[in-house]
């Protein structure tokens, strides 16, 4: 489906007029170098971020006329299809990726970026800003990725000069000649990479804001007055940066997986307008755009400049990329393809909504991806470790279906939780404990070989690992929430809590919020200490629970309070990494649960 790419306009002329009348900074040669031409200039930015090796289309639920509808969303072949369509029609297009191409699916686990870089080369990105997860497997893996890339990588606030692996592979900025003008692209990487990933010790990271100031000054001294920051820094941080650094015209960002734009009619909630406008310290407008996550969206932003290089207009949309098949619930509670009338109605809604499009997959990318998908099916049989004995699963302590008594509950969930703890702490998150619901783990782990397929059958959902800052009192309340969900509220017994580096007694017949007793936390030395209600702990868990699902309302409140971060480590992939590390899994000496009916 072909649509006009100019849909929503953010006119900045009134802002600029006010600046000129008042004679505020931002309209003289000290702040913006003179344009080399009197002809107005525009650039069209096509961008994605945080695709995290999500290369194939995925099932997703949207709403059309208020009815929940299952669609096929995203996929790199659709990313390419939409970018090619817009690039062929746009004046002065730039195709940008704001980081975190890697980590998150089997396509990364098995190919370590090779599949991603091949498809990215085919798309033809003009620039790629490094994200924190590009460093997850160290400098050498990142270097292999970058050496295959036909696009430049940027990160101005990282010094690679002392790294044998990465020296010369990353630039601080890029100057693009287009339409008789020069456009500067500066890369800014988040400092959280130092504690959320595994960069080499031979790399030096500098402050994001101070580096941006330095790089803008350097470009302006070269006579460049159209400056785009490509950041992997987060939506909130981008807005703060723009208010502190003069000379920036546009920020194309990533890291926070932020959906922007008005998508309420489709059942989605965004964090702000697309684009978002803030004012720089010079009184100049800065336009900020993000493109959500996982190859779901292509951002399409047209930016116009006046003779002094000041932005006069930003206009465009985040475009959701969907296929042409739709399913809805029937009267029997089953998802079924929609009938012809409903299909036509959905297609009409999409045709009239600039924020979504039915996109035909690019055939070249589709063919390349098919080769990797075939390998995924074969390589998923790869053995990654051994189970020395059967590790049985049961949600609530009791009798397993095989007749084996499990008075302390599941044998496999605590092992999975230990895997999460290892993953987080091997990436410097310093988690103190893990809490995992029983329903998030689906099967027994049989004695014998453990394959990648086994891990993804054990943990089949779309989930990432979170780290939350919580008081000891909140940790206890999370456990109470989980128990109350099924004991008091008729909820699923899948909410029953297990964990790692935490142990407790549950007295099921006690009153609500008084069932968890004798609660201990294991310290880094392996010593068990009573939980301190006033102490702050770093708690690892899965994304599903941070939404308050299965009754975990305290987790949701902590995230709402801004005390949680999504690491974007896929939970199944994290378990795969753990099994590779330890080799052999055994029944844990204790599950951490003492259960009194």
- Residue 525 falls inside a structural domain: yes
Give Cβ neighbours of residue 543 (< 8 Å, ≥ 6 apart).
463, 464, 465, 466, 566
End of a domain among 282, 300, 316? 316
**Distances from the Cα of 467 to the Cα of 53, 252, 396, angstroms:** 22, 26, 25
- Residue 555 falls inside a structural domain: yes
Instruction: Assess whether 387 and 303 both reside in one domain.
Output: no
Q: Which residue from 42, 26, 76 is spatially nearest to 56, judged by alpha carbons?
A: 76
Give me the pLDDT at residue 492, please: 87
Instruction: Dig out the tokens for 242 from the structure.
Output: 């723009």
Tally the domains of the chain: 2
Strands 181-189 and 204-205: unpaired
Instruction: Assess whether 310 and 405 both reside in one domain.
Output: no
Q: What percent of the chain has pLDDT over 90?
A: 87
For the chain, how many helices (H) and strands (E)? 16, 34
CB atoms within 10 A of CB 371: 11
pLDDT surpassing 80 at residue 235: yes
**Least confidently predicted of 6-20, 54-68, 526-540, 579-593:** 6-20
Give me the pLDDT at residue 491, please: 86
- Ranges of beta strands (E only) in 352-407 are 356-358, 383-387, 398-399, 405-406
- Residue 60 falls inside a structural domain: no
Give me the pLDDT at residue 2, please: 52
End-to-end CA separation in angstroms for the chain? 60
32: confidence class by pLDDT, cuts 50, 70, 90: very low
pLDDT digits (tens, 9 = 90+) for 504-544: 999 999 999 999 999 999 999 999 999 999 999 999 999 99
Q: Which residue from 513, 522, 593, 515 is spatially nearest to 553, judged by alpha carbons?
A: 513
pLDDT digits (tens, 9 = 90+) for 556-591: 999 999 999 999 999 999 999 999 999 999 999 999
**Least confidently predicted of 157-161, 304-308, 578-582:** 304-308
What's the chain's average pLDDT? 92
**Distances from the Cα of 517 to the Cα of 133, 149, 477, angstroms:** 39, 55, 11
Give me the pLDDT at residue 9, please: 43
For helices 76-89 and 114-123, give the axis angle rounded to 10 degrees.
Answer: 20
Over residues 368-372, mean pLDDT = 96
- Residue 112 falls inside a structural domain: yes
Nearest-10 Cα torsion for 35, 39, 40, 43: -80
Tell me which DSSP letter residue 511 carries.
Answer: P
pLDDT digits (tens, 9 = 90+) for 470-510: 999 999 999 999 999 989 998 888 999 999 999 999 999 99
pLDDT digits (tens, 9 = 90+) for 401-451: 888 999 999 999 999 999 999 999 999 999 999 999 999 999 999 999 999
Give me the pLDDT at residue 31, please: 42
Give the whole-angstrom CA distance, residue 436 versus residue 17: 56
Instruction: Assess whether 392 and 285 both reside in one domain.
Output: no
Q: Is 384 in a helix, a strand, or coil?
A: strand
Give the whole-angstrom CA distance, residue 220 versus residue 31: 8
Give the whole-angstrom CA distance, residue 459 versus residue 283: 51
Instruction: Dig out the tokens for 3 from the structure.
Output: 């649509």
Give me the pLDDT at residue 243, please: 98
Give the whole-angstrom CA distance, residue 51 versus residue 294: 4
Kindly provide the b/e burial profile for residues 13-34, where b requires at least 16 CB atoms within 10 angstroms of the residue's own CB: eebbeebeeeeebbbeeebbbe
Instruction: Dig out the tokens for 575 from the structure.
Output: 């378990």
- Residue 57 falls inside a structural domain: no
Between 386 and 24, residue with greater pLDDT: 386
Instruction: Assess whether 291 and 190 both reside in one domain.
Output: yes
Instruction: Assess whether 209 and 112 both reside in one domain.
Output: yes
What is the domain extent for residue 22?
9-52+79-316
- Residue 32 falls inside a structural domain: yes
| 550: alpha, beta or left? (left if phi > 0; alpha if psi -120 to 50) | left
Tell me which DSSP letter residue 35 carries.
Answer: P
Give me the pLDDT at residue 39, please: 57
1: confidence class by pLDDT, cuts 50, 70, 90: low
Over residues 135-141, mean pLDDT = 94
Give the whole-angstrom CA distance, residue 55 versus residue 15: 41
End of a domain among 316, 344, 360? 316
The dihedrals phi and psi of 442, each to the nearest 5 degrees, come to -110, -20
Cis peptide before 22 (omega within 30 of 0): no
CATH number assigned to the domain comprising residue 46:
3.60.21.10
Instruction: Assess whether 292 and 180 both reside in one domain.
Output: yes
- Residue 344 falls inside a structural domain: no
When computed from its CA atoms, the radius of gyration of the chain, rounded to whole angstroms, is 26
End of a domain among 260, 292, 316? 316
Instruction: Assess whether 417 and 303 both reside in one domain.
Output: no
- Residue 41 falls inside a structural domain: yes
CB atoms within 10 A of CB 404: 11
CATH number assigned to the domain comprising residue 508:
3.90.780.10
Q: Which residue from 587, 261, 570, 531 is spatially nearest to 412, judged by alpha carbons?
A: 587
Instruction: Assess whether 304 and 418 both reside in one domain.
Output: no
Give the whole-angstrom CA distance, residue 358 versus residue 349: 11
Give the whole-angstrom CA distance, residue 2 versus residue 474: 51
Instruction: Dig out the tokens for 247 from the structure.
Output: 């000379």
What one-character-per-residue DSSP string does 496-509 give? -EEEESEEEEEETT
Over residues 77-101, mean pLDDT = 97
Give me the pLDDT at residue 462, please: 82
Over residues 21-32, mean pLDDT = 33
CB atoms within 10 A of CB 349: 15
Give the whole-angstrom CA distance, residue 433 versus residue 468: 10
CB atoms within 10 A of CB 201: 8
């Amino acid at each position: 489906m072909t649509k006009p790419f100019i849909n929503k306009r953010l006119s900045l002329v009134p802002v600029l007029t006010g600046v000129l009348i008042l004679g505020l900074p931002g309209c003289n040669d000290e702040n913006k170098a003179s344009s080399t031409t009197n002809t107005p200039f525009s650039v069209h930015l096509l961008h994605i971020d945080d695709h995290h090796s999500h290369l194939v289309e995925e099932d997703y639920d949207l709403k059309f006329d208020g009815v929940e509808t299952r669609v096929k969303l995203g996929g790199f072949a659709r990313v390419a299809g939409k970018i090619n369509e817009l690039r062929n029609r746009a004046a002065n297009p730039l195709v940008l990726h704001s980081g975190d191409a890697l980590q998150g699916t089997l396509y990364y686990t098995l190919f370590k970026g090779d599949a991603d870089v091949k498809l990215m080369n085919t798309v033809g990105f003009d620039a790629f800003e490094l994200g924190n997860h590009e460093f997850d497997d160290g400098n050498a893996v990142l270097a292999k990725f970058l050496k295959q890339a036909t696009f430049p990588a940027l990160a101005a606030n990282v010094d690679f000069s002392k790294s044998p692996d990465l020296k010369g592979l990353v630039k601080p900025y890029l100057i693009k000649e287009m339409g008789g003008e020069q456009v500067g692209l500066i890369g800014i990487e988040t400092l959280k990479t130092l504690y959320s990933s595994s960069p080499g010790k031979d790399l030096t990271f500098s402050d994001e804001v101070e580096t941006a100031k330095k790089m803008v000054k350097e470009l302006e001294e070269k006579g460049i007055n159209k400056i785009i920051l490509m950041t992997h820094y987060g939506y909130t941080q981008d807005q703060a940066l723009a208010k502190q650094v003069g000379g920036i015209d546009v920020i194309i960002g990533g890291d926070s997986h932020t959906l922007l734009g008005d998508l309420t009619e489709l059942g989605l909630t965004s964090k702000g307008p697309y684009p978002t406008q803030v004012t720089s310290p010079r009184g100049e407008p800065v336009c900020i755009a993000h493109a959500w996550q996982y190859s779901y969206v292509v951002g399409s932003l047209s930016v116009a400049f006046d003779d002094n290089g000041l932005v006069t207009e930003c206009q465009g949309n985040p475009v959701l990329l969907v296929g042409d098949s739709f399913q809805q619930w029937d009267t029997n509670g089953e998802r079924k393809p929609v009938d012809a009338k409903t299909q036509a109605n959905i297609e009409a809604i999409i045709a009239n909504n600039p924020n979504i499009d039915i996109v035909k997959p690019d055939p070249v990318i589709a063919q390349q991806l098919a080769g990797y998908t075939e390998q995924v099916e074969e390589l998923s049989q790869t053995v990654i470790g051994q189970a020395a004995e059967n590790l049985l699963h049961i949600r609530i302590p009791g009798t397993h279906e095989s007749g084996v008594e499990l008075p302390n509950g599941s044998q496999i969930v605590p092992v999975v939780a230990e895997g999460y703890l290892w993953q987080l702490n091997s990436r410097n998150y310093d988690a103190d404990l893990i809490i995992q619901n029983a329903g998030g783990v689906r099967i027994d782990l049989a004695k014998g070989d453990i394959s990648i397929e086994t891990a993804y059958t054990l943990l089949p959902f779309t989930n990432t690992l979170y780290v939350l800052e919580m008081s000891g009192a909140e940790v206890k309340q999370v456990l109470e929430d989980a128990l109350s969900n099924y004991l008091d509220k008729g909820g699923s017994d899948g909410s029953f809590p297990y964990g790692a580096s935490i142990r407790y007694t549950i007295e099921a017949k006690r009153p609500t919020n008084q069932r968890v007793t004798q609660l201990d936390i294991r310290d880094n030395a392996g010593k068990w200490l009573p939980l301190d209600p006033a102490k702050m702990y770093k708690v690892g868990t899965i994304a599903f629970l941070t939404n308050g699902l299965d009754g975990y309302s305290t987790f949701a409140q902590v995230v709402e309070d801004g005390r949680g971060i999504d690491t974007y480590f896929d939970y199944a992939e994290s378990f795969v990494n753990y099994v590779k590390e330890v080799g052999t899994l055994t029944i844990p000496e204790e599950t951490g649960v003492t259960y009194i009916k």
